[in-house]
Amino acid sequence: MYWVSVFTEAGIFAILALGLDVIWGWAGDFDLMFYGYLALGSYMTFVLTIGKPPPSVEYIIGWHLPVVLSMVLAIAAVVALAAIIGAIALRNLREIYFAVTTLGAVSALYLLVEIYTPLFDGYNGVYGLINPGQTALNLTYNGYRIGLLVVVFVLLFLAYLLIQRLSRSPFGRMLRSVREDERAAAAYGRPVFSAKYRAYLFGAALAGLTGCLFAVFISAFNPSAWTPQELLVIYAAILVGGRGNPRGVILGVFVVYIGFIELTRFLPSPASRPDFGPAMRQVLIGLMIILMLRFRPQGLFPERPGRDRGEQPAEPRGPGPLALSASAARDAAPDTEPDGEGSAG
């Protein structure tokens, strides 16, 4: 049962990574708000299904809706929040400015949820969604967990098919052109903001779905489940797999989650220092991010260049974003001052 649970979790995170990859891999926006969407989706699923809060516990809404309906509503709430954040952050801000703005937004949300208890009961969080539908489906506990695993993988497969299709569609190609050179894309009449905005909403919707699945999977949710560091693991997974390549991203998640996190669970963790293991794991994840960025920014499975149908294949383009491959040439001579040579002549 342990491995069922591990694979379910990895499958959920794979869907999340696919969503994030649309925002970061295709549209090129480094979004730090993303885990907040998962959190909101999860919280909303809880408060829509677990009914009125018992005494001494507070949270909003408190309805008794069927789980599937509440998932739809939760995703709608997430997309609504993303619509606000995206409209603010994507309009004029790019790169670091975008990243910092989304970080500000997610930190404000995090603190608000943690401090303001009437929202989602602050630090205690919400809980009580235990295996919804188990009795109705007449399943044993183990059967239910295996069923959940199957559902997650079916959803992952559907998400993959959808994204693979989107990736080759005009929309996917437009997003990549915007990522590579926003001005050139705008000059060719591509609606830059609207393209990025739609990608953002789509990614957030997937994050909302993951939040719902997460709610069913862990049956409790509180602020310690969505600290900023969780998102970095997803970014690390995308970096390892290959930014912009859906198949690579899914593989990256499985490599990072199962290969890496499960293996480092066996790190020595002396009883006197219970935080040693988790801290060491974070250190290794940080190292992995830096090393991947430095030595293989395109990931293990690089994004494949789009093919022109009908004409002769164009000469092979460098893997990954142009900015990165251009800099690879510069890195060849790191000891000189590369900018100086041109001006000196």
Partner 1 sequence: MTTFFVSVGIGLSTAAILSLSAVAFTLQYAVSRVANFAHGEFLTVGAYAAYSGQALFHQNVAAAAVIAALAGAAAGLVLNVALIEQFRGRSAITVFIATLGVALIVENLLVIIYGAANVSYTFAQGNLHHIGPFLWTTTDIEVMISALAVAGLIYLLLQRTRFGKAVRAVSQDRALAQVSGIPARRIVMQTWALAGAVAGFAGFMLALTIGTFSPTLGFSFLLLTITATVAGGLGRPYATLGGALIVGLMLQIAGTYTSSEYELVYAFLLLVILMLFRPNGVFVRRSTVAVRA
Contacting range for partner 1; rule: CB under 8 A; set: 62-70, 144-152, 245-253, 272-280: 272-280
Residues forming beta bridges with residue 98, ordered by sequence position: none
Grouping H, G, I as helix, E, B as strand and the rest as coil, residue 269 is: coil
Nearer to partner 1, 64 or 91 (CB): 91
d(CA 114, CA 159) in angstroms, rounded, equals: 32
Q: How far is the CB of 326 from partner 1 (least distance, A)?
A: 8
Task: Work out whether 343 is an interface residue with partner 1 (CB under 8 A).
Answer: yes
Task: Work out whether 197 is an interface residue with partner 1 (CB under 8 A).
Answer: no
Residue type, 293: L
Q: How far is the CB of 150 from partner 1 (least distance, A)?
A: 34
Residue 24 DSSP symbol:
I
Q: How far is the CB of 182 from partner 1 (least distance, A)?
A: 8
Quote the Cα angle for 124-72-77, to 5°. Answer: 60
Task: Work out whether 154 is an interface residue with partner 1 (CB under 8 A).
Answer: no
Sole binder of partner 1 in the list 3, 157, 188, 276 (CB under 8 A): 276
Task: Work out whether 270 is an interface residue with partner 1 (CB under 8 A).
Answer: no
Task: Work out whether 224 is an interface residue with partner 1 (CB under 8 A).
Answer: no
d(CA 305, CA 311) in angstroms, rounded, equals: 15
Task: Work out whether 115 is an interface residue with partner 1 (CB under 8 A).
Answer: yes
Task: Work out whether 104 is an interface residue with partner 1 (CB under 8 A).
Answer: yes
Element (H, E) at 220: strand 220-221
| Encoded tokens for 85 | 């954040």
Contacting range for partner 1; rule: CB under 8 A; set: 110-118, 130-138, 160-168, 173-181: 110-118
Binding mask 49-88 for partner 1 (x = CB under 8 A): ---------------------------------------x
Residue 275 CA: distances (Å) to CA of 89, 230, 270, 281 = 36, 16, 9, 10
d(CA 244, CA 288) in angstroms, rounded, equals: 18
Task: Work out whether 293 is an interface residue with partner 1 (CB under 8 A).
Answer: yes
| Encoded tokens for 196 | 């990025």
Task: Work out whether 252 is an interface residue with partner 1 (CB under 8 A).
Answer: no
Residue type, 278: P
d(CA 264, CA 256) in angstroms, rounded, equals: 11
Contacting range for partner 1; rule: CB under 8 A; set: 37-45, 135-143, 256-264, 323-331: 323-331
Phi (first) and psi of residue 66, to 5 degrees = -60, 150
Contacting range for partner 1; rule: CB under 8 A; set: 48-56, 101-109, 125-133, 260-268: 101-109
Q: Which of residues 296-315 bind partner 1 (CB under 8 A)?
A: 297
Nearer to partner 1, 184 or 290 (CB): 290
| Encoded tokens for 159 | 């998400």
d(CA 306, CA 188) in angstroms, rounded, equals: 18
Task: Work out whether 232 is an interface residue with partner 1 (CB under 8 A).
Answer: yes
Q: How far is the CB of 283 from partner 1 (least distance, A)?
A: 5
Q: How far is the CB of 311 from partner 1 (least distance, A)?
A: 31
Residue 266 CA: distances (Å) to CA of 2, 27, 259 = 15, 38, 12
**Closest C-alpha to 47, from 212, 279, 227, 283:** 212
| Encoded tokens for 292 | 């991947």
Residue 54 DSSP symbol:
P
Task: Work out whether 112 is an interface residue with partner 1 (CB under 8 A).
Answer: yes
Q: How far is the CB of 136 from partner 1 (least distance, A)?
A: 41
Which residues would be at the binding site for partner 1 (CB under 8 A)? 30, 88-89, 92-97, 99-101, 103-105, 107-108, 111-112, 115, 182, 229, 232, 235, 273, 275-276, 279-280, 282-283, 285-290, 293-294, 297, 323-324, 327, 330-331, 334, 337-340, 342-344
